[in-house]
Amino acid sequence: MQKILLEDEYINSYIEEYISIYLDINILVLDLVKKTKYFIKEFNKYKLTIILFKFDEIYEPLLNESDINYFSDSNYILDIYKNYLNSDNDLKVILNINNNKPVENIKKLKSIKNYNLVDLQDLCNQNNISIYEIINNKQKAKKKNELYEELKNYYDKN
């Protein structure tokens, strides 16, 4: 696997699937040459998703405004999937979706039961709120309720 990734070897569908399983993420590939789109494995709305642009055999990730290359908003992912290839300006459509629907524009939180831990971590990252705390000189991930309270306080101040 390392040899294939490091030595510019051809990445076939088996390698793509292996990466998706190993990292436990959704991978959406938008092939710019063939004008195709596909999920490496069946889309799971409870997993993080990365979106890759494929040009020949080169893969480049889509980054959000904070240079984060993963997305947790399943509606956003499905919007990209539906809209890609439905326009003459595919990249502009995708980047417009990204600019028009950033997660950080949420100014009022829903009830805590509407979020999973990954959603809250993503919101915190996009708002520059640490998802870790230091306890006894060790870095520890904050719990769901702690992240929710910090986001609530942040939105109340802004």
Tens-digit pLDDT profile for residues 42-97: 888 888 888 888 887 788 888 877 778 888 877 777 777 777 666 544 454 454 44
Tell me the chain's radius of gyration from C-alpha atoms. 18
Q: Let me know: does 146 contact 117? Beta carbons within 8 Å.
A: no
Whether residues 78 and 120 fall in one domain: no
Please check the confidence at residue 100 and state whether its pLDDT lies above 80.
Answer: no
Whether residues 95 and 119 fall in one domain: no
Whether residues 71 and 7 fall in one domain: yes
Please check the confidence at residue 118 and state whether its pLDDT lies above 90.
Answer: no
Whether residues 96 and 110 fall in one domain: no
Q: Which SS3 state, helix, strand or coil, does residue 5 take?
A: helix
Tokens 């494929």 — which residue? 54
Domain carrying residue 149: 105-157
Alpha-carbon gap, residue 124 to 133, rounded angstroms: 13
- Out of 55, 82, 101, a domain closes at 101
Q: Which SS3 state, helix, strand or coil, does residue 73 take?
A: coil
Total-model pTM: 0.50
Whether residues 18 and 90 fall in one domain: yes
Whether residues 74 and 96 fall in one domain: yes
Tally of CA atoms within 13 A in the half-sphere of 139 that contains its CB: 3
Per cent of the chain over pLDDT 70 is 77
Alpha-carbon gap, residue 94 to 153, rounded angstroms: 32
DSSP letters, 101-153, are: --GGG--S---GGG--HHHHHHHHHHTT--SEEEETTEEEEPPHHHHHHHHHH
Residue 78: exposure state from Cβ atoms within 10 A (0-12, 13-18, ≥19) = middle
Query: Which position has the higher pLDDT, 52 or 158?
Result: 52
Confidence of residue 137 (pLDDT cuts 50, 70, 90): confident
Q: Let me know: does 80 contact 102? Beta carbons within 8 Å.
A: no
- Count CB neighbours of 48 within 10 A: 19
Q: How many domains does the chain have?
A: 2
The structure tokens listed for 30 are: 């938008």
Whether residues 80 and 123 fall in one domain: no
